[in-house]
Amino acid sequence: MNNNNLSKHQTFYAVGLSYKKADAETRGKFSLGNEAKSTVLQQAKSEGTGSLILTSTCNRTEIYGFAEHPFQLIKLLCDNSLGSVEEFQKVGFIHKNQEAIKHIFRVGCGLDSQILGDFEIIGQIKSSFYEAKSHDLANAFMERLVNSVIQASKRIKNETEISSGATSVSFASVQYIMNNVPDISNKNILLFGTGKIGRNTCENLVKHTKNDHIVLINRTKDKAEKVAGKFNLVVKDYDVLPLEIPKADVLVVATGAQFPTIDEDILQLNKPLLILDLSMPKNVHDNVKNIPGVTVVHLDDLSKITDVTLENRKKHIPQAELIIEEIMEEFSTWLNGRKFAPTIHALKAKLNSIKDGELNFQRKKLSNFDEEQAELISKRIIQKITNHFANHLKDSDTMVDESIEWIEKVFQIEANKVAK
């Protein structure tokens, strides 16, 4: 069997680390910014790597590529991040061939995400592929694989409910507001405080409610202005908080205070008010519940909503896995086809040369030789024989590499290999 035309990078690996075993600090050490990603690709190219893509988010950093040994890919990661090989050995993973293919499918389809059904990573995989392609590091295998993962993620999104419902508290709070406050785009929303959940809620409010007159108040005005600049909000002084609350239909409290900042004394209301307390500890005093028309929803209530959502999402895992299995099978069929196609072509050529020799012999020997008929019958027999071999190689139980070697040995043929 001729190995000269085979790529020396014969094994496909997935190496990396994720939230499953690595804490936030370790993940931070191994994270790759845009510049580092570009350097990894350049280094991979100079070291002769055939094809490679990489992703880096706050939850994971992973490299998918061909190598003689996975250490080549681990070294690429450690050379361009603050992580060490020793640390990688403690928390990293290495998947090979079929396991590596399965891993990229699960990641891209939201089954491996910290929040089940979170599809943000598929955008990263897509852009990583285009970046690899621009460095000439995306071969036909990688292109087909990435497209298959994208196809699977689309089908799972459309055919299952694995992404239904709110899973982040900030998004759950916006959904709660939108479900309970009619005509929200015209209502007055007041955001008090600039805590992380408050900022995320604010971003979601702007995005989903189309409300363009949200008012932001914070003890420190410059912090409020920074957030406001990002989301185009109206900033008011902390002193006017008691005057702004009566104007509001919705009050979102997201301060970092250790004691309640909103109590019944500050609420001089003349209309109903929905209050979302997104602070930990609580920043809305229990006594506000005595005021008629006031509804208070706390972080804990919203967390329960997200817990129920995640439980519901788990029911759709088997359906998502079936879709992945189906598309992975299509990918394997394509991959095996690429492996054995050159052998089938070489076999056909060999049988045709035997046929040509035999027809030449019979032509000289037989006086009434019907060349056209003999050619037709021979071609049909050759097609049937090669179909038998192709069907054997397509069978999922076939050891494709061994069968190819055996066919080439028996028929004394050398197929021109297709690069992976």
Residues acting as catalytic residues: 58
Greatest C-alpha distance within the chain: 117
Mark residue 66 as left, alpha or beta (left: phi above 0; alpha: psi -120 to 50; beta: remaining).
Answer: beta
**Residue 91's closest CA among 99, 83, 81?**
83
CA 77/CA 40 separation, integer angstroms? 7
- The contacts of residue 226 (CB under 8 Å, 6+ apart) are none
Cα three-residue angle 84-90-95, rounded to 5 degrees:
95
**Residue 103's closest CA among 175, 16, 36?**
16
CA 132/CA 51 separation, integer angstroms? 8
